[in-house]
A and B are shown apart, each in its own frame.
Chain A
Amino acid sequence: MILGYAGKFLEIDLSDGTFKSVTFDDELLKDYIGGRALAAKILCDRLIGKWEKLDPLGPENILLFLPGPLTGFFPGGRVCVSGKSPQSNGVVGSTVGGEFGVELRCAGYDGVIVTGQAEKPVYVFIKDSDVEIRDAGDVWGKDCKETNTLLNKECRRLLRERYPRYGEWKEPAKVYIGPAGENKVRTAVVTAKWTHAAGYGGYGAVMGSKKLKAIAVKGTGPLPEVADLAKVKRMINAVNKNAYDNPLWRRWGTGGGGYYFAAETSSEPVRNWQEEWHDEKSYGVDQFESRVWVKQAWSDFGCPTNCLKIAFVKSGKFKGAITDNPDYELQAYLGPNLGLFTPEENVFMASLIDDLGLCGIQTGNVLGFAAELFQRGVLSKKDLDGIELRWGDAEAFASLAKKIAFREGIGDLLAEGTYRAALKIGKMKGKDVMQYAVQSKGIGIGAHGIRSGQDFSTEIGYACSVQCGDHTSMTDLPIDGHGSEVWEVFNDSAVVCNFNGFGLPKNFKFDFYNAVTGLNLTRENWAKRGGLKTLQIQRALLLLGGPDLKWNPKVHDDNPSRFYEPLPSGPYKGKAADRTSVRENVQKYYEQAGWDKNGVPEYETLKNLELENVDKALRKLRK
């Protein structure tokens, strides 16, 4: 067994209510580590034969909660959630912060694999090797904050009753869904700690389709044994030291972004990306800090950065709203993207989105899309069930968000996410509205535009990513270079927080991995083998698609058309992405990735990576 692993995975079949331990070969784990890469491998091995016909919201989908060997050791605990995505029909490795992955490893598991579908709402309670599938009738329908409270109470009561001499029990770590997930909204998240979310991919809807409200876990063992504890301790200290040397990052987290990425880099969504610039001083980080942040440092397991801050509105119309920061993505998408420019409105929207279990990015994207259609007269007040969806009207956006979470009226259509909604509205109105859908292959673009060229986002980053619009998994040329997606695959597989890796030497995370596992993985090896294998699998499954949608690389390996419109305002006014250059670089990327001119992974590429089974499934796509 490789060091740094607990040694087994928990597989739960919700259809018949059984569970068992499963293991994977060391050789497999050397290539696929954990988290995202292992998720891609498991899904590929088990489902590639029927992938095209498999409904992500049906009982056959497999839902995965996978930490990695670095989880708990590398400062800042995270866990990766995955499965077949109801957004892209591919595989997204969606990570969320918190103690869930750490508790799971302390309980003796390297991950949870969920198959089947329960008949009635359930939640899973794991206490070390004791696993129970429990009735969730009392928590089904509750919002995320209340769900957290009720589960804490019930699980702690059970622990107290079963272990009366233990003393006080800490709360178990939990992942759960809100009403949006229960109603299979494609922009629903898997929530942890009220405000943390695995958003990209839409796995809240997959949990909902399985009638799985939550997983709670209490592990009382130690984290697994490592190969070189002294070195691991030194490396943890080095991550800490590096973070402590960056005081503003620690103080503001990404909360400085709401102003910065608009005023300075001109890459923030403003009114559904009609602009990417604003200079609203009301939206400065100082405003958040002075008016709504009631706790300046909030962290997940072992984190030295504490990029999270607790925000709470104490007075006025939005009194009682609670969320974290919001972080930059939610500041942008539930702020300027909707024409909102004050911390209070932003915290109000983010708090509501948290409670409903919606993704702030994807839902902010679809709300902005709907508002632009209202602005242009495509959607009327009547179409929107009486809501006048004007920019800057937080309450109007809140009403629509609730309709989305409960799939009421127009909300049912928008609950399909921006791309699918655009197809349906296009049909309904006899008009192409895809030009207003700022997304890539079913996933709304992260809040980092490419037109100004000033942000970290790249011109083919969204077009060629196997996670599509996911700003945490962008890619660039060359495929083994600094900006390649293979490094994001490592972060999401090891599983580590990339924020705590900023500024560390480029081999650092690999050295850390080797100190934990006792193996000898190099950065170069990862780019040539493990990382690349995962990219090929994710690409293949993305192209195979699902029963409702398939992607045509010629059309869909592209930026949203809005990025080719010149920026209308700000210091980079007039700048836009260049179609010819994007086309050329997409082709170059295909070549470097070993894909044919249509973007399909080639036989030779797959054979060299021992992915013959993937090749077999792709044959029908090669003409």
Chain B
Amino acid sequence: MLQLRMHLSGIGARVGVNISFERGKTSRLNRGRLQDILSRLLVKANQLATKKGPIWIARDLSRCSGCRKCEIACSLHHENRIWPEASRVRVFMLVPGADFPHLCAQCDDYPCVEACPFKALSVSKKTSAVLVNDEKCTGCGKCIEACPGRIPHMHPANGKIVICDLCNGNPQCVKVCQEGEWNVLKTVTRREHPYKLYARKPEEQTRNLATKLYGEKAEEFM
């Protein structure tokens, strides 16, 4: 057991994850502790495995089961709570069955960044995500109007705008979607592509998906 603890600490030190075993009751390596350590190592491994440079979340919306695990993962990551309305990715279900995640498409021309009168939005060089500076954001909503998909929304508690920040390169929504093999979301290296196609308003996206499912019948539900 002592050897295993030393081994784990060693791996942690090499990849920059702090794994320490203090004397006393916290030194016990029970199942929960081990799970915690392994999951921290896994997160780090994922980060290291992520290709350097900007990424994009590729999406196949028609596969969405509406499980909202992306909302749960996103809000736990950003807010440390399960908080669907504060999630940066939100699942709409205007027509049952036509559920889909609505999240930033990282348009090539970033109209939201352009539109902000307070220079509160910027583009991350590392990931290509749109970052919101809470100190500058006034919640005026100009970015929502500028977004072809009206994707940004207001944080329900602090009144600032929230936009997907790609979790600094390791999107948590993608992780849970992949774990469950729904594969609606997938992280890919950012290449030349008209990403803004994916910035669609909820009604438009719903009509597309509902038509794919229910054909002409979909119009009855719009």
Contacts and interface: CB of A to CB of B under 8 A. Distances in A.
A222 B221 contact: no
Nearest to B216: A320
Contacts of B144: 165, 167-168
Contacts of B86: 222
By secondary structure, the A interface counts as loop
B122 interface: no
Given A168-B202, A222-B83, A299-B66, A145 B221 contact: yes
B154 A223 contact: no
B148 interface: no
A429 B79 CA distance: 67
Contacts of A236: 72
Interface stretch (B7-15, B19-27, B94-102, B189-197): B94-102
Interface in A92-129: 99, 102, 106
Most buried by A among B35, B66, B95: B66
Contacts of B139: 165
Contacts of B133: none
Nearest to A77: B68
Interface in B40-82: 63, 65-69, 72, 75-76, 79-82
A163 B85 CA distance: 14
B153 A222 contact: no
Contacts of B65: 295, 297-299, 303, 306
Interface in B142-187: 144, 150-154, 156-157, 161, 179-182
Contacts, number: 130
Contacts of A229: 80
Contact of A148 (B72, B96, B215): B96
Contacts of A302: 67-69, 72
Nearest to B67: A299
Interface string B129-145: 00000000001110010
B76 A233 contact: yes
B79 A149 contact: no
B67 A301 contact: yes
Contact of A301 (B68, B75, B182): B68
A226 B66 CA distance: 25
Given A167-B144, A194-B96, A306 B67 contact: yes
A380 interface: no
Interface string B110-128: 0000000000000000000
Interface in A148-183: 148-149, 152, 163-168, 170-171
Given A165-B140, A166-B153, A194-B96, A230 B67 contact: no
Contact of B83 (A165, A166, A223): A223
A145 B210 CA distance: 13
Given A99-B68, A300-B67, 19 more contacts: A145-B220, A149-B220, A167-B144, A168-B102, A168-B144, A168-B151, A170-B84, A170-B90, A171-B92, A222-B79, A225-B81, A231-B32, A297-B65, A298-B65, A299-B65, A299-B68, A301-B67, A303-B67, A304-B180
6 contacts: A106-B85, A219-B85, A220-B156, A230-B36, A298-B65, A312-B217
Interface of A: 72-73, 99, 102, 106, 145-146, 148-149, 152, 163-168, 170-171, 193-195, 219-223, 225, 229-231, 233-234, 236, 240, 244, 294-295, 297-304, 306, 310, 312, 314, 320, 322
